[in-house]
Amino acid sequence: MPRPDLNLLVTLDVLLAEGSVARAAHKLRLSPSAMSRALARLRDTMGDPLLVRAGRGLVPTPRALELRGRVGQLVQDADAVLSPTEALDIKELNRTFTLRTSEGFVESFGPDLIARVGREAPRVRLRFMQKASKDSTPLRDGTVDLETGVVGDSIGPEVRAQALFRDRFIGVVRKGHPLSRGKITTARYAAGRHVIVSRRGLDNGPIDEALQPLGLERQIVTIVGGFATALALARSSDLIASVPERHTGSLRAGMHSFRLPVAVPEITISLIWHPRLDAAPAHRWLRGCVRDACMKRTAGRP
């Protein structure tokens, strides 16, 4: 039995990622007719149509969906095996790293990280992207080098994660707010007007679950997508923002912070990356820089 053409794996990977013969052809610098012939060979080899017509586009078959992650990993592993390993000269490293994280993380840890990178690798640039979701696709396709955040069920099972620090939620109000004076009870806290953070637009969370057994419910008047926005609104109104303490240290400057009157589980902020970059010297150096920046800012704090 003849051995299959392993070059077809690269073609299959791009076709499944793009979902279009024309886009795949452009990415691989082939003509549309050559890509169509390659798709025909794949269909014949695998005994499955892989991509089928749906309206004006193509959709993957169940077999194609099953293979998509496996094929991508095979291609990445092959690239890693065939790529030469060279000694890394950090001073001469000239590239841009993309980090997907929150505004609060950049505000709190960005200055130390940028200063460290500037000293050791003056030709390296850091691009910070807002983290709109926990989808692992940007890590998988190489659009993003590193992420920070809470590891959840939506994180791809193949990604690597390393804990950076633990964080707890606190309440934050403007100076002069009624909650900036006197004892903060659960009743006083719940009775206030609240702004909450939810990327998915949800109107409840762990704090509301903690209040429920006490027969209390927050008055939520505003839902926003990020902690920086929540704090900006609280700073100029009577709204109460509940945010992670260490994640928002710089953002809370000039405001009144207080411990929540209910027990809410702490969260663990992790560094997240794709395993194909585990051994890459430049990536390992960057991961160390991020870890050190977080340790510097959180050292000695409870």
DSSP 220-275: EEEEES-HHHHHHHHHTSS-EEEEETGGGTTTTTTSEEEE-SS----EEEEEEE-G
Rounded Cα distance between 140 and 158, Å, is 9
Instruction: Quickly tell me which residue has 């659960």 as its tokens.
Output: 186
CB within 8 Å of 30: residues ≥ 6 apart? 38
User: Do the domains spanning 7-82 and 169-265 agree at the CATH topology level?
Assistant: no
Could you tell me the residue ranges of all domains in the chain?
Answer: 7-82, 90-167+268-298, 169-265
pLDDT at position 9 is: 83
CB within 8 Å of 81: residues ≥ 6 apart? none
Residue of 151, 169, 166 lying closest to 252 (CA atoms): 169
Segment 46-67, tens digit of pLDDT: 888 888 888 777 888 888 888 8
pLDDT at position 270 is: 92
Rounded Cα distance between 88 and 69, Å, is 30
CB within 8 Å of 39: residues ≥ 6 apart? 11, 15, 21, 50, 51
CATH architecture entry for 7-82 = Orthogonal Bundle (1.10)
The token pair at 216 is: 């209390």
Residue of 14, 156, 160 lying closest to 75 (CA atoms): 14
Distance from the first to the final alpha carbon of the chain: 65
The total number of residues written for the chain in this structure: 302
CATH architecture entry for 90-167+268-298 = 3-Layer(aba) Sandwich (3.40)
pLDDT at position 218 is: 94
Rounded Cα distance between 13 and 67, Å, is 9
For domain 169-265, the question of CATH label 3.60.70.12 is answered with no
pLDDT per residue, tens digit, the chain (302 aa), is 566 677 788 888 888 888 888 888 888 888 988 888 988 888 888 888 888 888 777 888 888 888 877 787 777 777 766 665 567 889 999 999 999 998 888 888 999 999 999 999 999 999 999 876 777 788 888 889 999 988 865 566 678 899 999 999 999 999 999 999 999 999 999 999 999 998 777 888 899 999 999 999 999 999 998 888 999 999 999 999 999 998 888 889 999 999 999 999 999 999 999 888 888 899 999 999 999 998 886 654 54
pLDDT at position 302 is: 46
pLDDT at position 273 is: 92
Identity (one letter) of the amino acid at 206? P
